[in-house]
Chain A
Amino acid sequence: ETGVTQTPRHLVMGMTNKKSLKCEQHLGHNAMYWYKQSAKKPLELMFVYSLEERVENNSVPSRFSPECPNSSHLFLHLHTLQPEDSALYLCASSQESSGLETQYFGPGTRLLVL
């Protein structure tokens, strides 16, 4: 498998549930990203990891908890979410965490919080 993959592709959860989103990149990259894409709003950068260390936490509520166990995998743990957290969550990776590097995106996880 190539590129950036995300699972699950769709997720429905209640506000009291705990779930996790998974991202895997097969490109040998060192940086990984989580973005939130809400309807008719610009993509919002949530977290950035470089060499498995978090280098950016963009004022994201603590109900979102990222984890990067190695350079190929990135998780987003979700708990006690709100309906306004419903969105498409996109994972991306790049060779390094610099603006010169192209970010490659996965297909996203469509999340619905009831």
Chain B
Amino acid sequence: IAGITQAPTSQILAAGRRMTLRCTQDMRHNAMYWYRQDLGLGLRLIHYSNTAGTTGKGEVPDGYSVSRANTDDFPLTLASAVPSQTSVYFCASSERGQGNSPLHFGNGTRLTVT
């Protein structure tokens, strides 16, 4: 089934540890995004990529990094996790970046930093 796959589904991580959240899409979409979703807040953009080989910072990029070596994969790395990074992380893609094409979301990664 075409779509976006995120891994892991959930993770408990000790503060200070490094963690990479994986995201793969098979829709050949140009643009990909990482969002975090916290209770009572709207989705907040962490990083995005409008096309393979390029990335950009979103609203809350500090403490996170991304890479886009190819069209399909867009991993998100937490270099040294802190408790405030406890959240649900959603990867998304769209046909075009910076446009009006709808977002397709993965099922999310629930991350708890202790």
Say whether A associates with B. Answer: no
B residues neighboring A (CB under 8 Å): none
